[in-house]
Amino acid sequence: MPFDLTIPTNDNEHSFNVTIQEGASAVFVGANGSGKTRLAVLIETALGERVHRISAHRALTLNPGVPKIKESMALNGLRYGNAADNASLGHRSNHRWPGGKPAVALLNDFDFLVQALFAEQSRVALVSHTKDRAHIQHEANATKFERLKAIWEHLLPHRELVISGDDIQVRAPGGADLYSASDMSDGERAIFYLVGQTLEAAEGSLLLIDEPELHVHRSIMNKLWDQLENARPDCALVFITHDLEFAASRVGQKYVIRDYMSVGPRWTVESVPEDTGFSEELTTLLLGSRRPILFVEGDLGSLDKAVYRCVYPQWTVVPRGSCKDVVHAVTTMRANAALTRIQCAGIVDADGYGALDIVRLQELGVAVLPVSEIENLFLLPEISRQIAATEHLTTDDIDLRIGALENEILTMAAQPNVIEPVVRRYALRRIDRSLKNTDLSLQQTIDDIAADYRHQTESLDIQAIAQERRNKINTAIDGRDLPALLSLVDNKGMLAQAASRLKNTGRGPFEGWLTRVLLNDRAPGLVQALHHVLPQIAAT
């Protein structure tokens, strides 16, 4: 029998309906404050006995010596928080969730779980024993403890569970030294708890797991839930998480919780569409972001992240690799019907773009940095002056340092072993762009294709391209035009010069210092200078 979920929405006129079949799973992804746990409570309340919810706020103290009780009482305690024989769903709101606060109460049911596992083991063992005594041929059924042990040891092959009739111990596989299961690590206990909860859920339940990633190492996360989904094909699983990587790894429909209003309560929920041109993980991030999206070049290292976060705090910054990838991301997102309501823009390195190229990129929604790479920002006089000011120097001393740094950069950039690699990289980029823009689709024969290709590429004068770049670099050096030079030359050694001259340190510590002061807002003058030189991109 399927599980039908009805979620009140913020438009007040329509609800968001989700149907989950037995044996299937679904994932709801949302940021902090998006009402994920409140949604879990809504689902639990609406479906009643059919739901077994595992809260994110759960106690993981494992006590193997807990008193042994009847299986029915243990299951009542596990499902309702009350072990009495007459316990029912009505007890759940105040016993399983103390104080009647199911969204915030600590779920403290590990003892009931262990009691249920021991009781089920005793019952199954007694059945087998009775049949053996009566000489009845039969196949022994695996206890839930045995199934738990098999899954747990598959995930944690460096440990072995030793389960007796009244105790749980652990050892290295084949080892002699035992220790109590109460001394297991947080991750080991979390896996034990999640496996046990899944196995003990009533037949045909909807298992609702809030933050399934808690205390579980990412390397075994997918294996764990693959095992548990296979172990309970009679159940449906709903995961509620903020972990995009985990969400993308699961098979099943994905939903993004975009917004939440406590009055009602009401949510804004959307399905994660397919075929957006982005990976499922990135699509989920885009839909779930409460801020506009800013695509940038690179892999968003610590320094890049610090710069973009302090200058564009209203944006969610997403790294996309190369300039081409940034442009593709912006145009894809703006053209996709499922994503057009989300504002997006891009920023790319200068990379030798001419004025016409910059205009074309701006028309696409992509801004261009004033420098060839983000590290060069800190060599601009306006910014390096603010860095020197953090040393509490006099104005004259700051002027001396900035002047000395400018001389060192201009001298370094004039060296052939600096200029030629820069020219080579520039020429390769120009050739790559030209070849990618070569269109031979109108030609009908191989000969025509070959002739048109020669015609289109013959105009690409590589020597002229290289000389043009050398001339621009030399002109900037001769004119002592440092901003122009920094838009043309990319060389990591220049940042090392700034580190030595401005902070008397190496490049690594310098980048670390920059990252810290930018992220912690400890250099407002530096942040203001970055705001001034970087492209202005308004978030609507």
Query: What does the pLDDT look like over 38-60, one tens digit per residue?
Result: 999 999 999 999 999 999 999 99
Q: 236-266: per-residue pLDDT in tens? A: 999 999 988 888 888 899 999 988 998 889 9
Mean pLDDT of the chain: 93
**Considering only CA atoms, which of 436, 422, 505, 498 is closest in space to residue 465?**
422
For residues 105 and 57, give the distance between their C-alpha atoms in angstroms, rounded to a whole number. Answer: 7
pLDDT for the residue numbered 185 = 95
CA distances from 263 to 12, 42, 260, 522 (A): 11, 13, 9, 39
Give the HSE-up count for residue 318: Cα atoms under 13 Å, Cβ half-sphere: 26
For residues 156 and 158, give the distance between their C-alpha atoms in angstroms, rounded to a whole number. Answer: 5
**Considering only CA atoms, which of 229, 236, 209, 240 is closest in space to residue 28?**
240
Q: 457-500: per-residue pLDDT in tens? A: 888 889 999 999 999 999 999 999 999 999 999 988 899 999 99
pLDDT grade, residue 66 (50/70/90)?
A: very high
- Give the global pTM: 0.79
Q: For the chain, what percent of residues have pLDDT higher than 90? A: 74
CATH code of the region 3-140+188-271: 3.40.50
Every domain of the chain and the residues it spans: 3-140+188-271, 291-425+468-533
CA distances from 406 to 67, 292, 383, 416, 499 (A): 77, 37, 12, 18, 13
pLDDT grade, residue 32 (50/70/90)?
A: confident
Q: Where are the beta strands (DSSP E) in 301-435?
A: 316-319, 344-348, 366-368
pLDDT for the residue numbered 414 = 94
Give me the helices (H) in 322-375, please.
323-335, 355-364
Return the CA Rg of the chain. 31
For residues 120 and 196, give the distance between their C-alpha atoms in angstroms, rounded to a whole number. Answer: 12
60, 190 Cβ separation under 8 angstroms: yes
